Amino acid sequence: MLTSVSVSVAHARGSNADERVPSIYWTGFALSLLLAVPAFALLSYAEAILLAFHKPALLAKNVGKYCAVLHWAA
């Protein structure tokens, strides 16, 4: 997500359209939030979701532990 924002900002600055830069940043920020919040929620409840789909308990537990660390990267 951040890479596309930086490319768009570079394109706007290169074409002397500096007035577009703030809107590009805010759009990137909004899209990042819209993607990060559901990802955080899904990763936080990975174990429960896997158990709801009748996956093995040991697998769900291990994936849940992994996702408990991984969701902070989202």
Which residues form the domain of 58?
A: 2-73
Total count of domains within the chain = 1
Summarised one tens digit per residue, pLDDT across range 2-21 is 788 889 999 999 999 889 99
pTM score of the predicted model: 0.67
Report how far residue 70's alpha carbon sits from residue 22's, in angstroms, rounded to the nearest whole number. 31
Quick one: average pLDDT of 19-43? 90
